[in-house]
Chains A and B, each alone.
Chain A
Amino acid sequence: MLLIECPWCGPREESEFSYSGEAHIVRPLQPEELSDEEWADYLFYRKNLRGRYLEQWNHAAGCRRFFNAERDTVTNEIKSVYKPGESPPEDDS
């Protein structure tokens, strides 16, 4: 069970959160101009990194707000959390 720090509510247990995948994926501003490759990239291709990963979580059973987390996908260590709109922390690994 992970202990996840919600930037608004503080540390809470994992079961209060829902996972929303890779962070910083920008919705296409002009979808009608996208090629099939760009659509595939936006819809299906994720970095799925082994190691440091920037991802989105939602505090579903709490404040119900989204936030970003910097987590190591091998050790599950959450190195930092930050609010939407904030830029990701420097990669110090």
Chain B
Amino acid sequence: MQKYSFLNLARNALSYHENWQRAWRSPEPKSDYDVVIVGGGGHGLATAYYLVKEHQIGRVAVLEKGFVGGGNTGRNTEIVRSNYLWDEAAHIYEFSLKLWEGLTQELNFNLMFSQRGLLSLGHTLQDLRDIQRRINANVLNGIDSEFVTPEQIKEVVPIIDISPDARYPILGASLQRRGGTARHDALAWGLARAADSVGVDIIQNCEVTGIRREGGIARGVETSRGFIKAGKVGCVTAGNSGVIAAMAGLRLPLESRPLQACVSEPIKPVLNMVVMSNAVHAYISQTDRGELLCGAGVDSYNGYAQRGSPSTLEHALSAIVEIFPRFSRVRMLRQWAGTVDTCPDACPIIGLTPVKGLYFNCGWGTGGYKSTPGSGWVFAYTIAQDRPHKLNEPFSLERFTTGHLIDEHGAAGVAH
């Protein structure tokens, strides 16, 4: 892999930047791999990368039906944080955040990771109680989290409306200073390039159409480019996880929903933190290009259309305009949706399945982006060792039968 460095930048400037190596190859699929990862999003690419790097698996392929960065990895609102309430969730997200902190160096790709701080607003007395509870839980888990008053919020985000007669009065917020944003395209491209450089075959435009099994053991995948034999198959297909599971005769407790976001025209820097409000299901940050990047809660009904309801977005944007009155005249440029796989307890499913050699990593719902490196790391461990790591052990499929749910819904400010 050609290293991205100042020296190489200068060297390539001499040839007008026309001779840079391609960031990753486009190999023809081989007939046989040790591990095949279905789904070339961030989680799948991270899994493949860590399979080679941490577990020395020789022949790994990532199969992507579209192109790298064309799915949810390229559609999210870039927010990275780890201030979750329950221990199980807090541990895996904090593990992921720690990986994020070194990821730009590790991948040799500028992820534009910016720990600008993240505010979760409280609008009612009950919101404040929940926020205090979550802050205490975070601190006990070694995660930075602190309470800030409306006046302190106003100091760091001067354009916010903290007047007591506001539609959504701001009574306080939790602040995670290590939270922030990272450029989503850069994550997709950086992981693809790093995975490719350790020998992973990234095969785009290759849709999986079936999972071949013999005697309850996964043997490979049928694809639009023919059968590919595999020692093990890992599926990381977000909104389409249920579709892939059905190919192996499995069912998953997931519901696929559209999740929407939008960006405005670029404006001068006015917002230097991520601001989110669980109560009104809205979140906003300003990108380095100056666009306001806004997100909503999930749409109310199931759908694979990658298209959202205007009413859901309108709800989020009307709340944002109440909180930041001066954004009322900002024009939105683009709006889009991705298909997310929501789980009944708003926590992922990462682990083994009743089919031997077949593993699933799904159910991240609205919060998958921030967990990308951690998710890939534990999933690589699970596939390589054929057992879950202690970080993802609580996130087994069995929890829906045993009742050991990890109820992050509502309790943790899980608007993403």
Contacts and interface: CB of A to CB of B under 8 A. Distances in A.
B402 A14 contact: no
A44 B302 contact: no
Contacts of A75: 305
A1 B310 contact: yes
B309 A73 contact: no
Nearest to A53: B302
Contacts of A49: 242
A37 B301 CA distance: 26
Most B CB within 10 A of own CB, among A15, A18, A44, A46: A44
Contacts of A2: 309
Nearest to B256: A48
A14 B311 contact: yes
Contact of B400 (A44, A53, A74): A44
Contacts, number: 60
Given A14-B309, A36-B402, A73 B304 contact: yes
A75 to B, nearest CB: 7
A73 B253 contact: no
Given A40-B253, A45-B253, A74 B344 contact: no
A27 interface: no
Contacts of B311: 1, 14-15
A80 interface: no
B389 interface: no
A53 B301 CA distance: 11
B309 A74 contact: no
Most B CB within 10 A of own CB, among A2, A37, A45: A45
B161 interface: no
Contacts of B243: 50
Contacts of A43: 344, 400
Contacts of B255: 21, 46, 48
Contacts of A73: 256, 302-305
Interface residues of A, number: 24
A48 B237 CA distance: 14
A40 to B, nearest CB: 4
B390 interface: no
B329 to A, nearest CB: 24
A8 interface: no
B223 interface: no
A76 B251 contact: no
Interface in A67-93: 73-76
A46 B245 CA distance: 13
A53 B256 CA distance: 12
A21 B301 CA distance: 7
B39 to A, nearest CB: 15
B401 A37 contact: yes
Interface string A10-51: 000011001101000000000000001101100111101110
B303 A76 contact: yes
B314 to A, nearest CB: 9
A4 to B, nearest CB: 10
B264 interface: no
B181 to A, nearest CB: 30
A19 B301 contact: yes
Interface string B293-327: 00000001111110101110000000000000000
A15 B305 CA distance: 18
A50 B344 contact: no
Contacts of B108: none
B240 interface: yes
A5 interface: no
B71 to A, nearest CB: 15
Nearest to B251: A45
B309 A48 contact: no
Most A CB within 10 A of own CB, among B256, B302, B303, B344: B302
B305 A48 contact: no
13 contacts: A14-B309, A37-B401, A40-B400, A40-B401, A43-B400, A45-B253, A50-B240, A50-B256, A50-B304, A53-B302, A55-B301, A73-B302, A74-B305
Interface of A: 1-2, 14-15, 18-19, 21, 36-37, 39-40, 43-46, 48-50, 53, 55, 73-76
Interface of B: 240, 242-243, 251-256, 300-305, 307, 309-311, 344, 400-403
Given A1-B310, A44-B344, A48-B255, 14 more contacts: A15-B311, A18-B300, A43-B344, A44-B400, A45-B253, A46-B253, A48-B254, A48-B302, A50-B240, A50-B304, A55-B302, A73-B304, A73-B305, A75-B305
